[in-house]
Chain A
Amino acid sequence: MRSDVIGDEEKWLAEGIAGIQHHAFYMHRALDANNLRDALKFSALMLSELRTSRLSPHKYYDLYMRAFDELRRLEMFFKDESRHGVSIIDLYELVQHAGNILPRLYLLCTVGSVYIKSKEAPAKDVLKDLVEMCRGVQHPIRGLFLRSYLSQVSRDKLPDIGSEYEGDADTVMDAVDFVLQNFTEMNKLWVRMQYQGPGHVREKREKERSELRDLVGKNLHVLSQIEGVELEMYKATVLPRVLEQVINCKDELAQYYLMDCIIQVFPDEYHLQTLETLLAAFPQLQPTVDIKTVLSQLMERLSNYAASSTDVLPEFLQVEAFAKLSSAIGWVIEAQTDMPIVGAISLYVSLLTFTLRVHPDRLDYVDQVLGACVKKLSGETKLEDRRATKQVVALLSAPLEKYDDIVTALTLSNYPRVMDYLDNGTNKVMAMVIIQSIMKNNSCISTADKVEVLFELIKGLIKDLDSTSADELDEEDFADEQNSVARLIHMLYNDDPEEMFKILCTVKKHIMNGGSKRLPFTVPPLILSALKLVRRLQGQDGEVVGEEMPATPKKIFQTLNQIIESLSSVPSPELALRLYLECAEAANDCDLEPVAYEFFTQAFILYEEEVADSKAQVTAIHLIIGTLQRMNVFHVENRDTLTHKATGYSAKLLKKPDQCRAVYACSHLFWVDDQDGVKDGERVLLCLKRALRIANAAQQMASATRGSSGPVTLFVEILNKSVVFDCKFEDSHSKLRVLYDLGLTCELCNRYLYYFEKGNPQITSAAIQGLVDLIKNEMQGDSANANPAPDAFFASTLRYIQFQKQKGGVMGEKYASIKV
């Protein structure tokens, strides 16, 4: 059915074209013969083909263009009076004798254009006559094309300023009047198209109308091209009249297109100066018109205009562009109650963009826009509409981009209020954007107040906003978000310790509410940041660290203690333990023994009560040992207590290898390389022995249960250690054999080397030599039971010795006596 219609249309078009060609042929003959009568007759016949009602606008245009081309030839003929011998005035009458209106008016327009050119009559009279006479064609499509033809042929003949057709009687006003009138009539026809024909083809008609819209819009373009349309005239005549027509036509499609057209074709400067008039039109448009797009376009153009040159900025101020736009948006939103929320918000986005470009210094404007948005949103609970959400994000992102500095945004009181309307997911996204902005710009948030605001903004990340079930969350995303928060915390900085402390307190207040899932992410950076502060305070120690100051290290540590305690609720004992140890170390550096002791105590308590997993225990105990080793603040008693505890816990680990490792690690607690560090060789040996015992036990256990040799490397490790500390050299030697049987001597050797290098007086090159020889022998003898690991280990040890020898210097001398 439909293809029939299309097929028919093709046929009709072909017929029309054939008709035009046929009559054009005779017209050409008449033209060649300078026969006016026939020329008129055949041109009228030719133009009669345009009377068809059967073609769609698209096809009709095709037909029109063919006739148009022929009319050019006719016009050339009319111009040359010598060819037809009739004065232009008579010719103007003659063509009006045609009985059919459409050919008559096409001919009239053609002659009219020649008439103007001849200057035998004022251009304005001819133009006025033509535009009036064209009223006779009320058929939308035919009328539009006819008037488009009129517009086309008259374009270069308007009595514009500087044009040859301008004269006493003809002013630019006449040109403007003419174009405006033609525009008005064309628009009426265009609008009317919508209401003609049966109702069910509405969509098709709308499409057809869209195809024709440029015919109407062209008039506005012509207007904009008229030189004489200066600001004053535009203000007084052109714009009011165009707007009047736009408003009165009450047609959605037309209003949208024409408003857009006005904005696009006339200069920005004009828009700026007529902003009030232009904006006043918007509330009068049909409620279904997509005003937001048009208004956005306008604001975008104005923004670009403002951006184009700083010279124009005063104009914006002068006309109070912002206030006008702002109130216009208010009206529009109020008037168009049906407008979806997304529309309103996108308007605010545009306004905001405008504001940021034009008044970058006016934060109050920005805040005002956000405030208006809040007001609009206030009816809603949370935004459901995805597109609206997107717009809000755009709204909130704009100031961030503009100011490169979140600090500015933080002063906007309405900013967080807008954010409140985002759904949780988007709120988080927005918060991420904010954080990323901070990161990108490396901006530092330096006051507690700002921090307060900032955390208010990103509260979506800081705490659960509602009862969103946790399993909905993507673990990875969550981790990402929290990592960002963690990074953010490091961006909060102030040189003034006092303020910094305040910042930390603020952060603490916020993150404490974060719930067990967030604390593991957020607490560490806070602690570390606090510790940084502590170290800074420590740096300026001795100066004015008065007791009355709030930011004493002591105080900070107290706070930290609380914070870490909160981790117990997570629970995340391993993390808490690490943090305690960090704090302890910091306290150590501050010479605060009781504090450090307290932290250690907490760490041990945690270890006892919370760290249940054996692997975690191993890690924890190693951490404890490591930290403890570095502590130098403790007096003997405290230290003993702690080391004792640590050794005790080490020996109580579940797996023998772990025990063994922990215990030999403990040996370090008694040998601190610092100048005045503890150097208790006896206790070291004790530890090593104990480790050895455990290793033996482990080996036996392994053989018993699995019938194979057990954790060989373990022994190597122990021996490394034992060598380090062994002061009773002979004694160690006797053990070496045993140990070697287990294939662990290489490690031992290494450890010896460690202490050898460290200059332990009990370890001489001879001892090392003996050890090396021993290992060599044993290894050869035990080739059947060859285990690649000790071999490799030993080989590299030997290589190390070799290397040291070659290197020369003090070390080289030391090693010189050792043969490998």
Chain B
Amino acid sequence: MNYLIGAFKPSCNISITFSDAKTRKQVPLKKESGQAVLVPLFQSQENISGKINIEPIQGKKVEHNGVKVELLGQIEMYFDRGNFYDFTSLVRELDVPGDIYERKTYPFEFSTVEMPYETYNGVNVRLRYVLKVTISRGYGSSIVEYQDFVVRNFSPPPSINNSIKMEVGIEDCLHIEFEYNKSKYHLKDVIIGKIYFLLVRIKIKNMDLEIRRRESTGSGPNTHVETETLAKFELMDGAPVRGESIPIRLFLSPYELTPTHRNINNKFSVKYYLNLVLVDEEDRRYFKQQEITIYRLEETS
């Protein structure tokens, strides 16, 4: 947005500060330019309050048709870049039309804001929250200033969290039984499990556990699915024999995961899968994919 300032020589500086900026946790957010900036972190139902300073450039006055601040929750599809779909939009009028001659501060507050979705930066879709300050002007374009912030919502530990247990195989070739201790993992969780070999007639070279993210955007025929492998974790080296049981212990913390998102505003979904891959000596891959749910657990520390 700097270019706007540069290009149009805006006649004023707008800054947005949050009331608890000093204590609020900040997290990195990747901007479009690729660089990460630290932005404040909120969760749903929080009060978002602060001050907006408007400071005209020395010796200039700002005529306006009104000043407002909006809290926007937007979903942006990359195939439709620039087009934001606002799923949340809250407005606070800050000033009636008039002129601003000197620095002016407007407090604002959005209390207990419902922000059901988390900030998400995906391959084809982005979900962002932003505060937008608009100084409307009659004769020219409005002066607009944005302040991003991140929303993360914590979930309580699920009351039902069954293990995933399954027996799969290729007839007369390979039979395995695998077990993951849970079906729902939080972001810093550890996947514990084991693979039990019931029948091995192929020469296995190694076995990996992959964490895959499946991002689907759009709906109906326009659905677009993008799958990324976020983790490739070697579980086993060499060929096991029948009766062998291989332990799984995969720490999720080193990986950049997000919670599972299901059908966010009918726009997109993000799902996670554990993919167990066995590779034989001819580099043939045998795999079984199981969906897991990832949630954000409130950090106690």
Contact = CB atoms under 8 A, between A and B. Distances in A.
Interface stretch (B84-92, B114-122, B212-220, B235-243): B235-243
Interface in B99-132: none
Interface in A177-194: 188, 192
A730 to B, nearest CB: 123
B250 to A, nearest CB: 8
Interface in B240-258: 240-241, 244-247, 249, 251, 253-254
A138 B236 contact: yes
B232 interface: yes
Contacts, number: 55
Given A132-B247, A136-B247, A192-B241, A97 B254 contact: yes
A135 B237 contact: no
A817 interface: no
Contact of A135 (B203, B247, B253): B247
A673 interface: no
Contacts of A663: none
B239 A136 contact: no
Given A93-B251, A97-B251, A97-B254, A142 B245 contact: no
B146 interface: no
B189 interface: no
Nearest to B231: A99
Contacts of A138: 236-241, 244, 246
B239 A139 contact: yes
Contacts of A133: 247, 249
B185 to A, nearest CB: 16
B233 interface: yes
Nearest to B208: A99
A743 interface: no
Nearest to B245: A135
Interface string A517-552: 000000000000000000000000000000000000
B239 A96 contact: no
Contact of B236 (A99, A101, A192, A196): A101
Q: Which of B238, B239, B240 has the most chain A CB atoms inside 10 A of its CB? A: B238
A101 B232 contact: no
B234 A101 contact: yes
A453 interface: no
B238 A137 contact: yes
Q: Which of A51, A139, A188 has the most chain B CB atoms inside 10 A of its CB? A: A139
Contacts of A139: 237-239
A137 B235 CA distance: 8
B232 A99 contact: yes
A99 B234 contact: yes
Interface size class of B (residues with CB under 8 A): 20 to 34
Interface string A132-151: 11011111101100000000
Contacts of A188: 241
Interface size class of A (residues with CB under 8 A): 20 to 34
Interface of B is mostly: strand
A653 to B, nearest CB: 97
A143 B239 CA distance: 11
Contact of A101 (B237, B244, B254): B237
A100 interface: yes
B247 A96 contact: no
A102 interface: yes
A96 B249 contact: yes
Q: Which of A100, A136, A140 has the most chain B CB atoms inside 10 A of its CB? A: A136
B251 A136 contact: no
A191 to B, nearest CB: 10
Contact of A136 (B231, B236, B241, B253): B236
A51 B237 contact: yes
Contacts of A51: 237
A712 B214 CA distance: 135
A743 B236 CA distance: 116
Contact of A140 (B231, B238, B254): B238
A781 to B, nearest CB: 118
A196 B202 CA distance: 12
Nearest to A197: B203
Contacts of B232: 99
B240 to A, nearest CB: 4
A104 B206 CA distance: 15
A357 to B, nearest CB: 44
B103 to A, nearest CB: 46
Contacts of A136: 234-237, 246-247
A97 B245 CA distance: 21
Nearest to A189: B238
Interface string B166-202: 0000000000000000000000000000000000000
Contacts of B206: 101
Interface in A613-639: none
Contact of A100 (B234, B241, B249, B251): B234
B239 A99 contact: no
Q: Which 6 A-B pairs have the closest CB atoms?
A: A139-B238, A138-B238, A101-B234, A138-B240, A97-B254, A137-B237
13 contacts: A51-B237, A93-B251, A96-B251, A99-B231, A135-B244, A136-B236, A137-B238, A138-B236, A138-B239, A138-B240, A138-B246, A140-B238, A142-B237
Interface of B: 203, 206, 231-241, 244-247, 249, 251, 253-254
Given A96-B249, A136-B234, A138-B241, 17 more contacts: A51-B237, A97-B251, A99-B233, A101-B235, A101-B237, A102-B237, A133-B249, A135-B246, A136-B237, A136-B247, A137-B237, A138-B240, A138-B246, A142-B238, A143-B238, A192-B241, A196-B203
